[in-house]
Amino acid sequence: MLRMVTAKVWVLKKHFEGFPKTSDFNLKKIELPNLKDGELLLESVFLSVDPYMRPYSQRDMKEGDIMIGTQVARIVESNNPAFTVGAFVVARSGWRTHFISDGKDLQLLPSTWPESLPKSLALGTVGMPGLTVYFGLLEVCKMKLGETVLVNAAVGAVGSVVGQLAKIGGCKVLVGCAGSDYKVAYLKKIGFDGAFNYKTVVYLDEALRKASPDGYDCFFDNAGGEFASIAINHMKKYGRIAVCGAISQYNDSVPQKGPYVQVPMIFKELQMEEFIVTHWNNRWEEGLKALLKWVVEGKVKCHEQVTEGFGNMPMAFIGMLKGENLGKAIVKV
């Protein structure tokens, strides 16, 4: 069969300086070759835009490279007996509408995935961000029954799950959340014990003390920067800080400075640990199974901010970095 497939791809035209701009990206067309033995042709259905893409593109990419990223894709053609046409997989193939794979880096959606559940959740609560929370709370924060958990960027793909998993674990969840009272209302709706809009509180220090006068056992830090510097002073003795992200710092042209962390760490005997979910690669099945179960049972609510059209990927990415999303930011091709 002779066939010609043209893929659209988004290329990093220019390394970001400060906040990414749409003009830093370039939309290109690429003609895909015919499939060899063992290869598959895939079509992206949902693509993910995530905070990590900002620092990692800076570190790992050259100008002209296709943007890094993850998608849910459908198998369109298969020269590989292990994969059936029509099946859905999670791939790490970057910002592309179509791509060819030998199947090695593809993960089939769990066979127990209910038909009624949006497949895009495999990029969010039942995917990498959800697993990040699962291992971050269990293994890094080592959260225990009755503890108080602080999370920032709390309506994001990760933050919103932190609150809900901490509740399932029997913790009290108190939150600092970005930019809007609408988001605070949403957090309360999905079960957070406390939430505030950090953009409108006069003193963050006071807001954190008021929210939990006894302090915090666990701090799931998605933002870093000034919020983290203030929050560290509100940790309880032996508190654990899981450094998951630093979205407040990713777009700085000049690194920001804040008070050194050692003195508060010494007085409180704190633990601060960075972690990346791939560290628990051998336990993803366990994590995904648990997350899928909680979502299906309605114990974890999912919200997605879906942008339509592959052409709008840069806009969706920039909007997510600006905190315009509520829940997981997704692009539907």
Residue of 55, 110, 118, 191 interacting with a second copy (CB under 8 A): 55
How far, in Å, are 138, 170, 172, 292 from residue 297 at the CA level? 21, 17, 21, 9
Q: For residue 193, list its beta bridge partners.
A: none
Residue of 27, 261, 306, 326 interacting with a second copy (CB under 8 A): 261
Q: At closest approach, how far in Å is the CB of 275 from a second copy?
A: 6
Regarding 253 and contact with a second copy (CB under 8 A), the answer is no
Regarding 233 and contact with a second copy (CB under 8 A), the answer is no
Residue of 107, 249, 251, 312 interacting with a second copy (CB under 8 A): 249
How far, in Å, are 42, 44, 131, 210, 320 from residue 160 at the CA level? 31, 25, 13, 21, 14
Total residues at the site for a second copy (CB under 8 A)? Answer: 34
Regarding 231 and contact with a second copy (CB under 8 A), the answer is no
Residue of 271, 303, 306, 315 interacting with a second copy (CB under 8 A): 271
Which region, judged by CB under 8 A, interacts with a second copy, from 63-71, 199-207, 212-220, 271-279?
Answer: 271-279
Smallest Cα–Cα separation from 155: which of 131, 125, 128? 125
φ and ψ at 209, to 5 degrees? -70, -40
Cβ nearer to a second copy, comparing 4 with 266: 266
How far, in Å, are 23, 42, 216, 228 from residue 172 at the CA level? 44, 43, 10, 19
Q: At closest approach, how far in Å is the CB of 222 from a second copy?
A: 10
Instruction: Name every residue whose Cβ is closer than 8 Å to that of residue 53 and which is 6 or more positions away in sequence.
Output: 67, 68, 69, 317
Q: Residue 53 and residue 71: Cα distance in Å, rounded?
A: 13
Residue of 154, 177, 228, 230 interacting with a second copy (CB under 8 A): 228
Q: What single letter denotes the amino acid at residue 1? A: M
Q: At closest approach, how far in Å is the CB of 60 from a second copy?
A: 10
Can you tell me which residue has the tokens 């510097």?
229
How far, in Å, are 5, 28, 35, 47 from residue 32 at the CA level? 6, 13, 9, 19
Regarding 303 and contact with a second copy (CB under 8 A), the answer is no
Which region, judged by CB under 8 A, interacts with a second copy, from 11-19, 84-92, 203-211, 275-283?
Answer: 275-283
Binding to a second copy, residues 185-224 (CB under 8 A): 221, 224
Q: At closest approach, how far in Å is the CB of 236 from a second copy?
A: 13
Q: Which helix (H) or strand (E) holds 5?
A: strand 5-12
Residue of 13, 14, 188, 267 interacting with a second copy (CB under 8 A): 267
Distance of CA 113 to the CA centre of its chain: 20
Q: At closest approach, how far in Å is the CB of 252 from a second copy?
A: 9
Regarding 273 and contact with a second copy (CB under 8 A), the answer is yes
Q: At closest approach, how far in Å is the CB of 226 from a second copy?
A: 9
Interacting residues toward a second copy by CB under 8 A: 55, 59, 221, 224-225, 228-229, 243, 245-246, 249-250, 255-263, 265-276, 279
